Structure 1
Amino acid sequence: MNSTSRPDGFRDAFIKNFIAVFLCVTINTINGSFIYIYFRSEVFKKDPRYVLYIHLVINDIIMLTSSVLLQVITYLAVGGINVALCCTILVVMVTTNKNSPVNLACMAVERYIAVCRPLHHHQLCTVGRTYCLIGLIWGASFIDAFADIIIIFVTRPLSFFSVSMMCFSNAIYSVRQHKDKTTVVQVVLVSMVFLTLVITYLKVLFAARKASGDDQVSARKARNTILLHGVQLLICMLSYASPILTMHLIQTFPTNFRNIIFPCFILTNVLPRLLSPLIYGVRDQKFSHQLRLLFSCRSSGPGEGERLKPTAGERVRPMKGKRERHRQ
């Protein structure tokens, strides 16, 4: 496909972009409800687990928005877009794409410390340290994304940034150094995150077997949570498998490549941005409770929905006490 050809007709392009934008707005609205719930309650802000979770939600919103924006721009710009603008959007996409699995690994470690090192949890897992950890995650992911720009500076002339072309990562980052760097980073990242999830899961599993009573219930919940992180990791890995899957399908069905790229984009980049946060948020009792209050148009009051007014039974007891003291 050259840089001057429109990939689809007007009707097909409109339908595909409408579907992508509609899903983007819908998913961001749902995820935005979690953000709204988080910021309206001080209870969530004081828990490192929820700080990491809401960071995952915000990160996925940024990634989804940039991905759909890039697709719409690609369809609107018939002759391609400026390479400098394309690289800027790709840096945001690559950075947020790397953030998700690392954030999941950090959430698993937090659950491990809460169960296996409960006496040190309040010292190690503070909100301040969590924000510092999020900053380190963004810094490491940005360095990896910016390394692609540096490779372009080294291997291509500066005039390359003023060229207009179709904005695909395989087209912009096409030299061998990009492919080698991407392969190494993805293998190291996936291996580290996978080992972190496996080790923390096994540690919590052994702790659950040794615990008793309430501790056993807490350990079992933490074990299920880490297992859920593993499922979320597989969902995140779909975006890594997207280029390979798309290439394989195009080679198998070369005449239908226009109908292959878009479904792969939706399945591997758009829908996972909804499933990953939604599975965790709905499963969590605090968030699910607040969601029910939010969508039922009821006010939950401060904190986690504590009752602002005493019930009828609670009002009767002090009155009854006053009457008894008066009779005495």
Structure 2
Amino acid sequence: MAYNNSTQSNGAPSSIRKINNMVILVQILIIIFLYLNGLLLTTFFKKEVFRSSMRYIFFAYTLMSDCLYLMVTDVLLLFSYNRIVMQIWLCLLFLIIGTAYNFVFPLTLTLMTLERYVAICMPMQHGALCTQRNALHCILIINAISLLPISISLSIYWASVPFSRYTEDLVCGVEMLIIHRWQSHYWSAITQLYFVIMLVIVMFCYVQILKAARKASGETKKSSGKGLRTVLLHGFQLLLCLTRLWCPLVEAAVMQMDLRLFVDLRYANYVVFTLAPRCLSSLVYGLRDHKLFVNLKYYAVFGLACQPPVLTD
């Protein structure tokens, strides 16, 4: 992919200059995001009250999976931008992690929404259903469901490409998995299926929590209202990250028309549909949740400015 380093006649910076600035911005945002996630994970692992709660277990899992996903996709993005090649077998490993964890995030958000529904609309069953053991089982199920689409694509790739090519070098991208034209339709169908199922679940939970909020009073009404806002934020995150599932299809089409526009579009999609919804997770639970927030302040200054908070169930 060749880029023109010259400036435009009116003195404005060229496309490569704008892209360089965007690269720097993305790296700064990722560093901030990883630092904040590190603080939140430190809080989670140091406090038993968090490790025994399903919603905090789900939240911690989103943080860990997001960190892994962002590091892998950032490496691929930088390699793609700088036209750095890698062997196909290594590229496939990166794509397995990146594609699978692209599905993990919205699926975990959906489970977190279901947990809020059970807590508000089925409080008597919450203690029995939302246990630490069930949370771990749900995480295993999430990973299995997330690996299914990429497993099918890899099976098609392995059946279509001779093993002798696995040591060849290329610029790694998800587009390499599309060997046949109909595979684009397969990815479109699977993403739309996931989208519809998760959207229906989130909307059902929202409606049920809204009904509970209208009927509640006092502290119960306050808790329901907070749960309702949380579900709304989850719904917005879900919309952003599910839109991300369609981005590779759009990017592949744009790449055939304009390589420069393709690079711009890929970085813009990465910021809006990858970084933004994952940053919102830290805001939804890290800053809005009092228990996490007081601990976050303590660990952010390395325990120098205040006494360690004491939390109870």
TM-score by length of 1: 0.81
Q: Quote the Cα distance in structure 2 between the aligned partners of 1:8 and 1:60.
A: 34
**By how many angstroms is 1:92 displaced?**
0.3
1:227 aligns with 2:235: no
Structure 2, unaligned stretches of length 5 or more? 6-15
Q: Quote the Cα distance in structure 1 between the aligned partners of 2:127 and 2:4.
A: 56
CA spacing shift, 1:95–1:31, aligned 2, 3 Å: same
CA spacing shift, 1:218–1:260, aligned 2, 3 Å: closer
Bigger Cα displacement from structure 2, 215-224 vs 170-179:
170-179
1:173 aligns with 2:185: no
2:39 partner amino acid: S
Q: Quote the Cα distance in structure 2 between the aligned partners of 1:165 and 1:110.
A: 43
Q: Quote the Cα distance in structure 2 between the aligned partners of 1:130 and 1:235.
A: 25
The residue that corresponds to 1:280 in the other structure is 285
1:195 aligns with 2:187: no
CA spacing shift, 1:173–1:7, aligned 2, 3 Å: farther
1:158 aligns with 2:136: no
**By how many angstroms is 1:76 displaced?**
5.5
Give CA deviations for 1:16-53 in whole Å, capped at 9, x if unaligned: 65444333222111111111111111111111111111
CA spacing shift, 1:287–1:304, aligned 2, 3 Å: same
**By how many angstroms is 1:249 displaced?**
6.6
1:139 aligns with 2:174: no
Give CA deviations for 1:110-167 in whole Å, capped at 9, x if unaligned: 1111111111111111011101110111122123222211111122322332322221
CA spacing shift, 1:163–1:276, aligned 2, 3 Å: same
CA contact (8 A) 1:31 1:278 kept: no
1:85 aligns with 2:90: yes
CA contact (8 A) 1:235 1:276 kept: no
The residue that corresponds to 1:23 in the other structure is 29
Identity fraction in percent:
24
CA spacing shift, 1:41–1:299, aligned 2, 3 Å: farther
Q: Quote the Cα distance in structure 1 between the aligned partners of 2:259 and 2:153.
A: 30
Bigger Cα displacement from structure 2, 238-247 vs 45-54:
238-247
CA contact (8 A) 1:16 1:262 kept: yes
CA spacing shift, 1:53–1:253, aligned 2, 3 Å: same
Q: Quote the Cα distance in structure 2 between the aligned partners of 1:280 and 1:7.
A: 42
CA contact (8 A) 1:250 1:256 kept: yes
Q: How many residue pairs are counted as aligned between the two chains? A: 300
Structure 1, unaligned stretches of length 5 or more? 307-328
CA contact (8 A) 2:286 2:293 kept: yes
Q: Quote the Cα distance in structure 2 between the aligned partners of 1:227 and 1:93.
A: 26
Bigger Cα displacement from structure 2, 229-238 vs 19-28:
19-28
Give CA deviations for 1:84-122 in whole Å, capped at 9, x if unaligned: 111110110111110111111111111111111111111
1:49 aligns with 2:55: yes
CA contact (8 A) 2:87 2:166 kept: yes
CA spacing shift, 1:43–1:246, aligned 2, 3 Å: same
Q: Secondary structure of 1:59's partner?
A: helix
CA spacing shift, 1:225–1:23, aligned 2, 3 Å: closer
CA spacing shift, 1:103–1:8, aligned 2, 3 Å: farther
CA spacing shift, 1:124–1:102, aligned 2, 3 Å: same
CA spacing shift, 1:156–1:280, aligned 2, 3 Å: same
Q: Quote the Cα distance in structure 2 between the aligned partners of 1:28 and 1:113.
A: 31
Counterpart mapping for 1:35-74 below 5 A: 35-74=41-80
Q: Quote the Cα distance in structure 2 between the aligned partners of 1:244 and 1:155.
A: 20
2:193 partner amino acid: V
**By how many angstroms is 1:245 displaced?**
5.2
1:304 partner amino acid: L
Q: Quote the Cα distance in structure 2 between the aligned partners of 1:122 and 1:20.
A: 41
**By how many angstroms is 1:247 displaced?**
6.0
2:271 partner amino acid: I
CA contact (8 A) 2:62 2:108 kept: yes
1:46 partner amino acid: S
The structure with the largest alpha-carbon Rg is 1
Partner residue of 1:208 out of 209, 213, 232: 213
CA contact (8 A) 1:63 1:93 kept: yes
